[in-house]
Chain A
């Protein structure tokens, strides 16, 4: 009974903090929407110009082979200065330079060279731009002479158009969940310390552990509710990407993750005396957890040491499981290894975190 009163108190306290509520709503709606619709590492609308010295039928046909929405043709350039200018001012990802007598050389079989000039100060786009452009030019030219003897037919599973929206929507949702789970319980505890309520607690008839667990559970519940809201509303309705598995599975997995992450939050709380420390420690924990989850850099591409360390990131298992459910439609019962890892980590962290916290008081 006492536990539920405490739970109620924490939830009311959260709801009364209007600033926090405002940002929670923002994070679980607009923030996810912006990230999902805005961050796209694949080649989209890559602006390019052409420096066409040949200006022949063939050269124009070659330029028409650069397809939208990957490429966006911006126009012709005459001088080398204007090439430099568009690249300096970041008005284009690249420039295609077609030499004099391109058409004639092709007909006669003389050697000629098409240059692809790429703005190297871009990150993902410069590689993909040069790779695609080279491919398109070769295909165009080989197609005029012979049929390619070997052809590869690519098929992308689970996400046919390789749309970044799908991935980014879930990825940002999981990041926001982690941020709130790391911060909220720790902030709730440290606020009591700063206001010197803690002394009152220690002399109250309630065991300290009940008090701490109530805070974690209350914040976990709030995050879980927001997650459900974000899933049904933001992700499925507003961003409108498909959800292939069962929403209940997704939320159950989140429930396990809630314990893991709020355990970590209790560690933060046990180390901190004030909110400055909480805030800095939250970021300090969040960054490696995010990085080691393999969300940004695939784990197999990391150095060996980091690959081992990545086993420690709870987000890794959560992302694995959550993306499998959401994007691939895998049922929860098939994800035993992720669930076991997450549960073990969660159990240990939650118990230890709360234990440390109680000892500190």
Chain B
């Protein structure tokens, strides 16, 4: 017999326990909040204020001109130090004093007057993305300078290239990161909270009360699920407010759809945490397992930082096994593309299937006796 009364007595017990435990209550609210703020605000993929070094053997008008073009707006590069030998420069690159360096050879201007001047750009490759962006900045500045030099000779290039950004017209990467962070946070926080809900009773021994009581498996699990769901829904309201009012990410689609998909995803995430709680007998194991199984996959296989279309076949296949993949797609569709509902329904149904599947696994593996 499935009795709602028993379900809600579990919910009441969990909520009361949390409310009485001030430190837990505070940290349970603070964890998703801090993740959202730190990664939403702080994860800057724009590369700015790169300290560079200069070794100018040529010391000519042209070398200074190029240097000033690179550093003039002060936003991307600034000259940290001028060097007089390659040895010093190598040391500075090795110890991270400068991230990149320009090396103008003796005959730079002379070669240029003959038709082709070359200089070197040395980059610290420790952080590959940073290295690639620095390279692309310098390339762009040099191209522009080339066009200027040619125009002085009276030539003009007949073609222009025009980049246009769809869905996010000013290419505000902070918006994309902020929305993606919501998906990552909701994969981790609700799962971590619910991962302890059952195993804590196993470790303290109070699970025996459950074993001997008249409460059914389904009632017990549903009670735990709802407790986790309530706590995470409260957190969701905070996270959405941050997204809408603090980060001010413009929402192009419907708020209702955003809410429905988020609530559905919280159910999936909570059921996943609960499953680890059913499986393990130590809280430390359940916790660390949840963190490891949620953090990397939710960043790696979801298009959070790298495009889904760049994934190989194997990675794409794995991605389809991870619920965050669908939620991330829903979020981006609703937030940036205002996709029509018919595009979203398959993903919503997939999330629902994930939830039903995970919850049935919970039911299947939870035993009302000691193993």
Contact = CB atoms under 8 A, between A and B. Distances in A.
Partners in one complex: yes
Interface in A261-296: 271-284, 287-288, 291, 296
Contacts of B309: 46-47, 90-93
Given A34-B300, A150-B66, A274 B176 contact: no
Nearest to B192: A279
A105 B157 CA distance: 11
B352 interface: no
Contacts of A47: 307, 309-310
A82 interface: no
Nearest to B129: A41
Interface residues of B, number: 123
B370 interface: no
A145 interface: yes
A119 B305 contact: no
A88 B339 contact: yes
A163 B127 CA distance: 9
A184 interface: yes
A122 interface: yes
B130 interface: yes
Given A19-B280, A39-B299, A279-B192, A162 B165 contact: no
B173 interface: yes
Interface string B106-120: 000000100111111
A320 B117 contact: no
Contacts of B135: 154, 156
Contacts of A132: 136
Looking at chain A's contact residues, the main secondary structure is helix
Contacts of A152: 118-121, 138-139, 142
A121 B292 contact: no
B287 A275 contact: yes
B93 interface: yes
Contacts of A17: 282, 284-285
A127 interface: yes
A125 B307 contact: yes
A83 B196 CA distance: 47
A118 B164 contact: yes
A218 B309 CA distance: 45
A324 interface: yes
B207 interface: no
B173 A272 contact: no
Contacts of A320: 96
B45 A112 contact: no
Contact of B125 (A147, A156, A184): A156
B292 A26 contact: yes
B133 interface: yes
A301 B46 contact: yes
A259 B339 CA distance: 52
Interface in B255-309: 279-289, 291-292, 296-297, 299-301, 303-309
A141 interface: yes
B124 A276 contact: no
A65 B21 CA distance: 63
A274 B306 CA distance: 38
A192 to B, nearest CB: 12
Contacts of B28: 276, 280
A131 B161 contact: no
A109 B163 CA distance: 22
B116 A157 contact: no
Contacts of A126: 165, 168, 171, 173
Interface residues of A, number: 125
A142 interface: yes
Interface in B158-195: 158-169, 171, 173, 176-177, 180, 188, 192-193, 195
B281 A191 contact: no
A128 interface: yes
Contact of A130 (B130, B157, B163, B204): B163
Interface in B299-324: 299-301, 303-312, 315
Contact of B126 (A90, A158, A195, A296): A158
B180 A273 contact: no
B27 A280 contact: yes
Interface string A19-49: 1101110110001001100111111111100
B30 A280 contact: yes
Contact of A164 (B39, B129, B286): B129
Given A271-B23, A274-B24, A330 B128 contact: no
A124 B45 contact: yes
Contacts of B21: 273-274, 276-277
A31 B125 contact: no
A45 B310 contact: yes
A324 B24 contact: no
B244 interface: no
Nearest to A187: B284
A119 B203 contact: no
Nearest to B122: A155
A238 interface: no
Nearest to A39: B300
B260 to A, nearest CB: 20
Given A114-B162, A131-B139, A297-B42, 16 more contacts: A39-B305, A42-B129, A120-B166, A121-B167, A122-B306, A124-B173, A130-B171, A134-B140, A135-B136, A142-B150, A150-B145, A151-B142, A153-B121, A154-B123, A273-B23, A296-B43
8 contacts: A115-B163, A117-B163, A124-B306, A125-B307, A162-B131, A194-B203, A280-B30, A301-B48
Q: Sort A-B residue pairs by CB-CB distance and give the 9 closest, nearest first.
A: A19-B285, A120-B168, A159-B125, A280-B27, A120-B165, A41-B129, A275-B283, A187-B284, A156-B125
